[in-house]
Amino acid sequence: MVFKQIQAKEIPLLDNFLYEAIFVLESMTAPPRSIIENEDLQVYVRDFGQLPDDRCLVAECDGKIVGAVWVRIMNDYGHINAETPSLAISLYKEYRNKGIGTELLERMLQLLKKDGYKQVSLSVQKANYAVRMYQKAGFEVLSETSEELVMVCDLVKKIPKLEMTQKHCFECGTLLTERVLEGEGIVPYCPTCKQFRFPMYNVAVSMIVINEQTGEILLIKQYGRPSFILVAGYVNRSEQLEQAVSREIKEETGMTVSRIKFNRTSFFEPSNTLMCNFTAFVEDASELSPNGEIDSYQWFSPDDARQNIRPNSLAERFLNAYLDEYCMNDCDL
C-alpha cells in the first residue's frame, strides 16, 4: 500500500470517492450515482486543486487508487468558519476495515498540522461506523442534529508534534516520516522497521562544586569566553549520572568528590541536551589542578558566586536555585 498526494490526472477519481462517501444503511438502497451532481455535494470536488486550501491524499494498491481523504474550506455540512478546512474520506468497499482509512486520516491530520492549520471539521451521520475512527483520531462533537454530527479536531491540542531531531532511523538508516501515535501526537516513524522513533537527546551534568572546608564555590572560564560558569560535561554511554559527576570533576580539576547531591534538571535546547545539576563537595581543594579545558578558575563565596556567574545562563539559574533553597532552609552548603 502506497500513500501519496494526489496527482492532477487522478483528481477526477474524487467523483468516485465522493459517491463512496455517501453513507447508506444496509437496509436501504443506494442512491443513483447522479446524486453527486447535487450542488450541496459538488462543493466537495468542483475545481478541486484550484483553491489554496485544497489538500488530498490517496491510497494506492497495485497501481490502483483505492481510497482518498481530502479537505478544502467550503460551505459544506461540516463548515465551521473561513479558517477551518472540512474533511471528507472514503474507500472502495472491498478495501474497508483494513486500517487504510485510519492511515489516510492520520496522514492528513499530520499534513494539516504541518501546514499550520489549527483545526479541521467534518460532518458524519450518527449511524456511520466511521464515527469511532474519528473519535480515536481526536475529533469531538461540536454540534448535532437528530441524525448527524459535526465534529472538529483541535490539531494544536490533540496532535502535539515531537521535533525530528534525527532525520534517519538509528537502526536501519531509513529517512524518517511522521505518524500520529495515539496518546503521543505526531511522532517520527521508520517505515522500514515499522517502529516509532522517539526523539533522542544528549545528557550532561553540571556541578556546583563546593569546598567542604570553606563553603566556597568553584567557578571556571572556558573556551576563551570572559564569564564564569559551572563545571559541566557530557555523560558517557552506560555511565551513571553520579559517576559522570565524579569523573568530570576529576578530569577537569583533579579534585576528588566526597559527596554529591542531586538538585534539578533543565532541557538546554541550543545543544539538544538534558542538563542534570548536582552539588558536588570536595574535601581537599589543594588537589585542584585544572586540565587544558579550563582557562582560569576562582573560588567564590556564595554571594560573590551569584554576582560573577554568567548572567542569563542556565548555570546562573542552577546556582541561584540551589542557593535560594539553601538560604530558605538555613542549612549548611
Which whole number is the average pLDDT over 97-101?
Answer: 87
Phi (first) and psi of residue 192, to 5 degrees: -80, -50
As beta bridge partners, residue 181 has 185
Which is more confidently placed, 77 or 158? 77
C-alpha cell at 112: 494539516
Strands (E), 79-175: 86-91, 119-125, 139-144, 148-154
Model pLDDT for residues 30-53, shown as the tens digit of each residue: 889 899 999 889 999 999 999 999
The Cα 117–Cα 285 span in angstroms is: 58
Domain with CATH 3.90.79.10 in the chain: 202-329
Which is more confidently placed, 2 or 305? 305
What is residue 73's three-state secondary structure?
coil
> In which band, very low, low, confident or very high, does the pLDDT at 162 lie, cut at 50, 70 and 90?
low
So what's the pLDDT on residue 221? Answer: 96
What is residue 228's three-state secondary structure?
strand
So what's the pLDDT on residue 330? Answer: 47
The position carrying cell 485544497 is: 54
Question: How many other C-beta atoms are found inside a 10 Å radius of the C-beta of residue 237?
Answer: 6
Percent of the chain whose pLDDT exceeds 70: 94
Domain with CATH 3.40.630.30 in the chain: 2-122
Pick the closest to residue 251 from 213, 275, 274, 220 (CA basis). Answer: 220
The Cα 82–Cα 34 span in angstroms is: 29
Model-wide pTM > 0.85: no
C-alpha cell at 98: 483494513
> In which band, very low, low, confident or very high, does the pLDDT at 156 lie, cut at 50, 70 and 90?
confident
Question: How many other C-beta atoms are found inside a 10 Å radius of the C-beta of residue 29?
Answer: 7
Pick the closest to residue 47 from 75, 80, 22, 12 (CA basis). Answer: 12
Provide the CATH topology of domain 202-329: Nucleoside Triphosphate Pyrophosphohydrolase (3.90.79)
Domain with residues 2-122, CATH architecture: 3-Layer(aba) Sandwich (3.40)
Model pLDDT for residues 223-246, shown as the tens digit of each residue: 899 999 999 999 998 899 999 999
Question: How many other C-beta atoms are found inside a 10 Å radius of the C-beta of residue 209?
Answer: 26
